[in-house]
Structure 1
Amino acid sequence: MKSYTTRAVAFVASAAMLALTACSAGSSTSGGSSTGADQSLSLGLVAEPASLDFTTTDGAAIPQVLLGNVYESLVKQDESGKIVPSLAKSWTVSPDRKTYTFDLVDNAKFTNDKPFTAADAVFSINRVKSAWTTSLKSAMDVVAGAKALSPTQLQVTLTKPSNGWLFRMTTRIGAMFSETGVSALATAPIGTGPYKFSKWNRGDSIVLQRNDGYWGTKPQFQQITLKYFKDPTALNNALLTGTINVITTVQAPEALSQFTGNEKYQVIEGTTNGEVLLSFNNSKPVFRDLRTRQAIRQAIDHKALLDTCFAGRGKLIGSMVPPTDPWYEDLTSVAPYDVAKAKSLLQASGAAGATLRLRLPTLPYAISCGQVVKSQLEQVGLKVQIDQQEFPAAWLTTVFKSADYDMSIIAHVEPRDLGAVFSPTYYTRYNDPELQQYLAAADAGDEAAQLDNMKKAGRRLSEQAAGDWLFLLPNLIVADKNLTGLPQNAITENFDLSRLARS
């Protein structure tokens, strides 16, 4: 039986957090002096959730705030993508790779004062299968059963070996719920995390309070306010005027110069797994012809687009795999920019002169990049009609749920989401049996088979022009100079608030 125990890792992480807290206790915030016990912090974000219930509402905005901060999972990812303990302090895997036995922490409790036990884990896993309605719930289909061996030991049995299941347990489907705390998930989430939900001022902010009964290392800040801005200039001005302390995701990279030369601020630039996808509705007749899809890819000058709509920040990738995944390959050469070739392909497919609806979410990068896409596609003979869909509500309803669109632009930030995004039931409506074969073989095989088949899957998507990957978002953060604990890379669904402190 293979054993995964990480007490040493947990000890190092705890020691680091203790050192961080010790060196910053008693420091002052930009709003005045205070002790470490009553400090507050404000962060600026862009996409406000439509609901707080990620079991019934898709979109990355909810787990960005709640996962890891209010809700915890059995296991989580560290910043390098490694699976490490959370509510499970260790686990073992049977030789046939179908049975996982988790040893749980014994001192965690929910913010409704109910203790966290293996029974709650069983409830949470089963509820994904029985009550969740979002597209990501299918990752739990491989589970044959879950049972509590004791209050602190959980056993999960799979129907077949799966490389992806434990990884998916680090995402929102792995969130642990209290059976007595799921009656109002959309407005009153209850978890075991370092923070608890306080209030939601719709259209403005979400406020979290430190969970003083937290079982782990308590965060420094007593209150975190997450403020939402639709306009990137307003977001930047909020930091410049001291309204917020952090811009979590820079939306106007061309404006970074006002911060880089200012000693009051720090600028962090790393990577993400946020693939900015020009998505095709593959159920539409115009996109059923491979030549049309290839023509669109080759009509786009990706470097010029990146320079124009995101100030050259980010990375060109060529498929749905970021460099932080083990099976990444640079596939930008699969569809090189070639106007003449694009025109020829459109003539051959009969799509020359066609009008395509580009339905964009009201997110700054999507609006900016959409204008470039429109211009470049019209240069090869397509007509592009842009309309904006309020995000998240209208875009999720019209594009994501109803697939009432031809093309769209959105950043997919869920980790390792290639198979989820390109499937017949997702908004891309992409049905490719060969791709599904590669994904199934990757999930069931050994490490070498997983690597080989995931590379094949990434290349298959690119060669079949299932969409067009405009670029990979960078992790661009601007914050007060003395704030520590900010992530260099953003490769998980959540923004970890528990590590934030002042030096």
Structure 2
Amino acid sequence: MHSRRWSASLLAVISLVGLVLASCSAGSTATQIGRVAGASIVVGTTGVPASLDFTATGGAAIPQALMSNVYEGLVRIDQDGGIRPQLAESWEVSDGRTRYTFDLREDVTFSNGDPFNAESAKFSIEYVQNEWTNGLKSQMDVVEDVEVLDEHVLQVTLSRPSNNWLWSMGTLTGAMMTPSGIPTLATEPVGTGPYVLDRFAVGESISFDVREDYWGTPAHQDAAIRYFSDAVSAVNALRSGDIDLVWAMQAPELLDTLPEEYEVEVGTTNGEVIFSMNNDAAPFDDVRVRQAVAHAVDRTAVNEVVWEGLATDTGGAPVPPTDPWFTGHNYYPHDPGRARELLAEAGYGEGNRPEVTISVPSLPYAQNISELVYSQLSEVGFDVELTTVEFPAVWLAEVMGAHDYQMSIIAHVEPRDIPTLFGDADGYLGFDDAGVREQLLAADTGEDQVRHMRAAVDGIMAEAGALTLFNSPNIVVLSPGVEGVNPNVVTDALQLSEMEKA
């Protein structure tokens, strides 16, 4: 994390909430003007949730607002990516690592007064399996049986050992819910967290009241998240006092318009911006062509253009710096000469240049990046065409769904998504490597997860399955007197309870 005073400008927009669709189907629709009423601390950001039901809607916006604030899990993920107790005080794992026995806290209730116990925990896990339509429900596929042993003792049996499962229980799929709260998931979520929902103004804001009967350390102040369509509006609201901080600043060139007393902190995120190559489509069905792209792209230049160097270079690998298997190894140094050699080895030359089309989603950051990589690829011998694809509907249908593309650029924000992106040969990347799948399985089922994940990443990068351009920074701008803000994003939550304004 970097903390500094700013006078320099930065650059463009990156959308980290690509799969959230805008609509007005739930909650209050009254227009919010000025500061959110009743909130002592107000966070401004983008990525508006269409509803509050992440069981049916993908994307980062809903869990960002609700996880750690309204919902909690049996476990939580700390800032180092470690698994810590939360609603479960402790747990034991069987010798075969397939049976987890959780001792649950006995002093917890949901915000509507329902007791939290082994029955509600069993219900929550099975609800993911049987009722969720969010694709992340697959994280619960490994669960074979859930049994209530006592009022506050839960036993979960897995079909095979899985390191990923317990970690996922600290994310949205592990959110503990009560059956009586299901009918109002989209408008009035009920959880065990330090806040209760006060008001949901669709497209504008979410307000939270401190729970006086919270089982843990109470939140410092009532809070709200205010949503903006652009960075100018967010900065104007910060200047006027309508909000107290900007989370995920998307146009940092505006920072030099702010008074000197505003503080800026820069953290890391789960957002890897990936330059994807369809491994099933020519010319990218040839590993040498993919490797040529990886050497042709100047990631440092992309970082400077898009974030003025504030993003983290992952060495081209799809691993955020907060994951234990992050090494920072530079898999593909910028080397136009080597890129030309690889194209020649693949049978291409000046009279036979590979023709490629980049399907660019209609997102500002992708548009900016595409113009730069267009030049870099052309320089080493590609004939490049840029075509804009409407995002999200058309991009999701054509690129993610039908795999009808050659290259694209998109931010993937889900935590620890390497198995999803590179472990499924039917995925949109078309990456198919049995050795990588073996390492991913060993990482999930074995005892040395870090070693196997690093081996899997090495295999992905040897095949140049895709190129990560950078790990997106989280730029947070704080007004004077705001404390308790951690800019690093490890899971899917924007924790409000420790924030306060003097």
TM-score relative to the length of structure 2: 0.84
What pairs up with 1:404-423 in 2 under 5 angstroms? 404-422=404-422, 423=424
Q: Which residue does 1:128 correspond to in 2?
A: 128
Query: 1:209/1:401 Cα in 2 relative to 1: closer, same or farther (>3 Å)?
Result: farther
Structure 1 residue 288 corresponds to structure 2 residue 289 = no
1:9 matched to which residue of 2?
A: none
Distance (Å, rounded) in 1 between the aligned partners of 2:435 and 2:378: 32
User: Matches of residues 370-385 of structure 1 in structure 2 within 5 Å?
Assistant: 370-380=370-380, 381-385=382-386
**2:114 counterpart letter in structure 1:** K
Q: CA deviation at 1:436?
A: 0.7
Residues 40 and 500 in structure 2, CA contact (< 8 A), matched pair in contact too: no
Residue number in structure 1 paired with 2:14:
none
Report the equivalent of 2:335: 338
Q: Separation in 2 of the partners of 1:102 and 1:295?
A: 50
CA distance in 1, matches of 2:462, 2:209: 48
Change (3 A) 1:342 1:51: farther
Percentage of identical aligned residues: 41
Contact conserved, 2:128 with 2:137, CA < 8 A, in 1? yes
- 1:282–1:288: 8 Å Cα contact kept in structure 2? yes
Q: Aligned partners of 1:424, 1:135: CA distance in 2, in Å?
A: 17
CA contact (8 A) 1:331 1:459 kept: no
- Distance in structure 2 (CA, Å) of the matches to 1:315 and 1:181: 40
Q: Which amino acid aligns with 1:286?
A: P
Look up the match of 1:193: 193
Question: d(CA) in 2 for partners of 1:361 and 1:426?
Answer: 22
Residues in 1 aligned to 2:362 and 2:452: alpha-carbon distance in whole angstroms: 33
**C-alpha deviations, 1:273-297, integer Å up to 9, x for none?**
3222122333434332212222221
**Aligned counterpart, 1:365:** 365
CA distance in 1, matches of 2:105, 2:234: 40
Deviations 1:170-199 (A, max 9, x none): 111111121222234334432222223344
Q: Deviations over 1:291-319 (max 9, x none)?
A: 22222212211111111111111111121
CA distance in 2, matches of 1:237, 1:369: 27
The corresponding residue for 1:324 is: 322
Letter of the 2:372 counterpart: V
- How far 1:459 moved relative to its partner? 1.0
- Is the 8 Å Cα contact of residues 278 and 285 (structure 2) preserved in structure 1? no
Aligned to 2:96: 96
The 5-angstrom pairing of residues 389-408 of structure 1 reads 389-391=390-392, 395-408=395-408
Distance 1:111 1:389 in 2: 41
CA–CA distance in structure 1, aligned partners of residues 211 and 335 of structure 2? 56
The amino acid that maps onto 2:272 is: E
Provide the C-alpha distance between the structure 2 equivalents of 1:397 and 1:184, rounded to a whole number of angstroms: 30
SS at the partner of 1:95?
coil
Q: State the number of aligned residues.
A: 461
Query: SS in structure 1 opposite 2:182?
Result: coil
Q: In structure 2, what is the equivalent of residue 17 of structure 1? A: none
**2:262 is the alignment partner of 1:247:** no
**TM-aligned CA distance change 1:103 to 1:415, over 3 Å:** same
Give 1:205 deviation, angstroms.
Answer: 2.8
Distance 1:481 1:406 in 2: 48
CA distance in structure 1 between the partners assigned to 2:287 and 2:435 by the alignment: 15
- Answer whether contact 2:370 2:386 (CA < 8 A) is retained: no
* Counterpart in the other structure of 1:79: 79
Counterpart secondary structure, 1:144 = strand
**3-state SS of the aligned residue for 2:232?**
helix
Structure 1: distance between partners of 2:121 and 2:397? 31
**Is the contact between residue 356 and residue 407 of structure 2 (CA under 8 Å) also seen in structure 1?**
no
Match of 2:31 in 1: none
Residue 299 of structure 2 corresponds to residue 302 of structure 1: yes
Stretch of structure 1 that moved more, 343-352 or 465-474: 343-352
